[in-house]
Amino acid sequence: MGMTLTQKILAAHAGLAEVKAGQLINAKLDIVLGNDITTPVAVNEFEKAGFHSVFDKEHIAIVLDHFVPNKDIKSAQQSKQCREFANQYDILNFYDVGQMGVEHALLPEKGIVTAGDCVIGADSHTCTYGALGAFSTGVGSTDMAAGMATGMAWFKVPSAIKFVLKGKFGPRVCGKDLILHIIGMIGVDGALYQSMEFTGPGVAALTMDDRLSICNMAIEAGAKNGIFPVDEVTKAYLKGRSQREPVFYEADPDAEYEKTIEIDLDTLEPTVSYPHLPENTHVASEGKDIKIDQVVIGSCTNGRLEDMEAAYNILKGKHIAKGVRGIIIPATMDVYKECILRGWTTAFIDAGCIVSTPTCGPCLGGYMGILAEGERCVSTTNRNFVGRMGHVKSEVYLASPATAAASALTGCITDPRTV
């Protein structure tokens, strides 16, 4: 029996001719990633284990993004520990204030990850890089410590679900709507420890930003990773960007999948995930009676340039509803600068929003938009668990940038095709 795309990459990095679902392997790593929350824990474990060197200073990335610029003394101490470690071991891909971005937007943009890579990160949304045709997955800080020292990690080879995409999106429908639709269909454990592999003629109609958003939320279906085949869109994105030569793998024609799910992109509507699980999905047009207090547009899921453009196209020349707080967070400094150069930042401010330096910020209840008791937020982030963005009696509704921007204008959940 042939191998899936994920299995092909894992076999190559384990130095094996083939691997099978359920098999335990030890694989070489191309990138080990940490952020300002998880890296200090990994550093403590690294030192506790007696390590005195890293496997490769060019293949470790540390991005200070969650509570940076530092929001309090604890976050300042965590960042200081990261800086000291990065200086001690001369970590080349170290990103601090003024250079940092939200990690899973920054690494693809900088070409730190590329096609064919095997990547671990001490952050659950490391699965984002499957959009580039890489195997990437989140791990704990102890695995990060071992990875930094040895350049190796063990995995149980996942089985896979095949998603065959057909057609193309209608107006103001995007990758975020697709992944919310899928999670609503299969549930938050519908792909538990499996690879979500996307294929079919509809893939060609997806932009790289669509694919990054989709793979980012594979973990919200319980998946080990999400992954797209490498095509002309991928190659165009990687050209002149990749720090290393990309390697292109393909699934075997006789690869075995647990199930195959076909999705017609033409039929999808703007979709919203209601509290308190990503699987609680509804079409946006059903939400007109749900009043909101805040909108957040940003994060590793939807803070890229196309996301900013979607928000701009809805907000330009208009003003958000009275009583709604609009928070826009470009995911990287390059995105931030481009928004300024294109006049989008001015349009956002004129529409009554604030524009922040890149940060994870409110996504995980950090800062830059914490919710009080009873407040509701439409957010382009990836999780809406109880208390995720603040008070345990607040509510988070996950949506695309277009839906979030439209909702900011009306003060209630709104289908962006109607504004």
Check whether the bond before 13 is cis (ω within 30° of 0). no
| Closest by Cα among 315, 328, 331 to 378 | 328
DSSP-derived 3-state class of residue 315: helix
Q: Are the CB atoms for 10 and 154 separated by under 8 Å? A: no
On whether 118 is known to bind a ligand per the annotation, the reply is no
Cβ atoms within 10 Å, residue 419? 16
β-pairing, 281-283 with 271-273?
antiparallel
Q: Identify the H or E element spanning 313.
A: helix 305-315
Q: How far apart are CA 410 and CA 392, in angstroms?
A: 25
Q: Which residues in 51-101 belong to E strands, given as ranges?
A: 60-63, 93-95
Q: Are the CB atoms for 388 and 377 separated by under 8 Å? A: no
| Closest by Cα among 36, 8, 221 to 123 | 36
Q: How far apart are CA 170 and CA 296, in angstroms?
A: 24
On whether 363 is known to bind a ligand per the annotation, the reply is yes
* Residue for token pair 């095949």: 162
β-pairing, 60-63 with 93-95?
parallel
Q: How far apart are CA 126 and CA 133, in angstroms?
A: 13
Q: Which amino acid appears at position 296 of this protein?
A: V
Binding residues: 300, 360, 363
Binding residues for [4Fe-4S] cluster: 300, 360, 363
